[in-house]
């Protein structure tokens, strides 16, 4: 766990004679993929927006609807937390009226952050400014659990006493991922306070709820539960102290917790 490095449904809108439709895809895993249609006077894009772990892909087709030889393109901008990063776009397509091409080049994977908030997709005429593009912002498809039947067991490991958790970790019962890298780039014992067991349990939560072969509950709400348990485990360490030592320990615990809350999305979801 790198603490330092971590420091819709259905939408239909008519716009000046231009139609945009976003619907859940019936062929996809529940909630994992959206389909979208952006239909403007100069071009049309039929899209599939797919959540892939800590990222998003956009595929589909775009059609040139004009006969003047000018080009069109599709662009997507991913909002992470309250900022937009990253963005990507297709090459210009200049096929001529009625001609279509596949969209295969849009892949959005942010370097950090806490949650994927929304994605803005636009279809544009290359010879006009971006203020002339047809665009729509909509929510991110949620991740799909791989082994939701194991969530209750992961819950039990998250909430049991630390002593019981560490004993279970020694036994490494299948099919869970018991590997950890401690507190990684941050001290395991900042100021002499032993946060290593808390870091080990936090790694277990991320590796079994959010990604990997189990991926029991890959949601922002569950990630918060894992992070909050991390804080509780560290505070139990602090409760062994008093006075200035207690205050200092609580300060370290708060800083570690804030780091994973602000930038832990990539580590939790990984590559799906």
pLDDT for 129 equals 80
Among the candidates 93, 112, 140, a domain finishes at 140
pLDDT of 130 strictly over 50: yes
pLDDT of 23 strictly over 80: no
C-alpha distance across the termini of the chain, in Å: 17
pLDDT 10s digits, 149-172: 999 999 999 999 999 999 999 999
CB atoms within 10 A of CB 233: 20
pLDDT, averaged across the chain: 86
Q: What percent of the chain has pLDDT over 90?
A: 63
Q: What percent of the chain has pLDDT over 70?
A: 88
Same domain for 181 and 237?
A: yes
Q: CA–CA separation, 83 vs 113, rounded Å?
A: 9
Same domain for 136 and 154?
A: no
CATH (domain of 188): 1.20.90.10
Same domain for 229 and 182?
A: yes
pLDDT of 269 strictly over 60: yes
Is 215 exposed, middle or buried, given 0-12, 13-18 or 19+ CB atoms closer than 10 A? buried
Domain that holds residue 159: 144-269
Q: Answer yes or no: 29 catalytic.
A: no
Which of 18-27, 94-103, 135-144, 190-199 comes out lowest in average pLDDT?
A: 18-27
Same domain for 135 and 149?
A: no
14 within some domain: no
- Within 13 Å and on the Cβ side, how many CA atoms surround 63? 13
pLDDT for 185 equals 82
Q: Tell me phi and psi for residue 63, to 5 degrees.
A: -125, 135
Same domain for 151 and 258?
A: yes
Same domain for 124 and 199?
A: no
Number of structural domains found in the chain? 2
Higher pLDDT, 7 or 77: 77
Segment 196-203 shows an average pLDDT of 98
Same domain for 121 and 35?
A: yes
Among the candidates 117, 140, 163, a domain finishes at 140
Residue 10's pLDDT band, with cuts at 50, 70 and 90, is very low
DSSP the chain: --TTTT----EEEEETTEEEEEEE-TTSSTTTEEEEEEE-SSEEEEEEEEE-SS-EEEEEEEEE--SS---EEEEEEEEETTEEEEEEEPPPB---TT-EEEEEEEEE--SS-S-EEEEEEEEEETTS-GGGSEEEEEEPPPP--S-GGGHHHHHHHHHS-HHHHHHHHHH--TTS-----TTTTS-SSGGG---HHHHHHHHHHIIIIISTTT-----HHHHHHHHHHHHHHHHHHHTT--HHHHHHHHHHHHHHHHHHHHH-HHHHHTT-
221 within some domain: yes
pLDDT of 5 strictly over 80: no
10 within some domain: no
Interior CA angle at 114 toward 121 and 54, to 5°? 60
Among candidate residues 29, 202, 211, 257, the one labeled active-site is 202
Segment 107-123 shows an average pLDDT of 90
21 within some domain: no
31 within some domain: yes
CATH (domain of 92): 2.60.40
Same domain for 214 and 194?
A: yes
Same domain for 220 and 158?
A: yes
Same domain for 150 and 133?
A: no
pLDDT 10s digits, 238-254: 999 999 999 999 999 99
pLDDT for 132 equals 83
Same domain for 148 and 264?
A: yes
Residue 192's pLDDT band, with cuts at 50, 70 and 90, is very high
Which of 19-28, 41-50, 91-100, 119-128 comes out lowest in average pLDDT?
A: 19-28
pLDDT of 25 strictly over 60: no
Q: CA–CA separation, 51 vs 138, rounded Å?
A: 13
Same domain for 71 and 174?
A: no
Q: CA–CA separation, 138 vs 11, rounded Å?
A: 9
Is 21 exposed, middle or buried, given 0-12, 13-18 or 19+ CB atoms closer than 10 A? middle
Higher pLDDT, 202 or 130: 202
Among the candidates 106, 140, 174, a domain finishes at 140
Residue 272's pLDDT band, with cuts at 50, 70 and 90, is low
pLDDT for 249 equals 98
pLDDT for 14 equals 25
């Amino acid at each position: 766990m790198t603490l330092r490095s971590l420091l819709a449904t259905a939408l239909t809108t008519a716009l000046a004679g231009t139609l945009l439709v976003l619907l859940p895809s019936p062929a996809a895993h529940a909630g994992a993929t959206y389909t979208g249609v952006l239909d403007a006077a100069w071009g049309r894009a039929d899209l599939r927006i797919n959540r892939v772990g800590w990222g998003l892909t956009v595929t589909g087709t775009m059609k040139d609807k004009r006969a003047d030889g000018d080009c069109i393109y599709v662009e997507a901008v991913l909002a992470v937390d309250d900022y937009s990063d990253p963005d990507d776009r297709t090459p210009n397509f200049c096929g001529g009226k009625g001609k279509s091409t596949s969209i295969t080049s849009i892949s959005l994977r942010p370097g950090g952050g806490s949650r994927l908030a929304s994605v803005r997709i636009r279809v544009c005429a290359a010879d006009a400014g971006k203020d002339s593009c047809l665009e729509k912002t909509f929510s991110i498809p949620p991740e799909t659990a791989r082994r939701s039947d194991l969530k209750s067991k992961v819950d039990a490991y998250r909430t049991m006493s630390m002593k019981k958790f560490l004993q279970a970790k020694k036994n490494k019962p299948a099919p869970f991922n018991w590997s950890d890298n401690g507190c990684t780039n941050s001290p395991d014992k900042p100021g002499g306070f032993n946060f290593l067991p808390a870091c080990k349990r936090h790694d277990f939560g991320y590796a079994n709820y959010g990604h990997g072969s189990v991926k029991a509950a890959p949601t922002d709400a569950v990630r918060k539960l894992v992070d909050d348990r991390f804080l509780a485990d560290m505070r139990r360490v602090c409760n062994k102290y008093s006075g200035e030592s207690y205050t200092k320990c609580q300060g370290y615990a708060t800083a570690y917790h804030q780091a994973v809350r602000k930038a832990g999305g990539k580590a939790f979801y990984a590559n799906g």
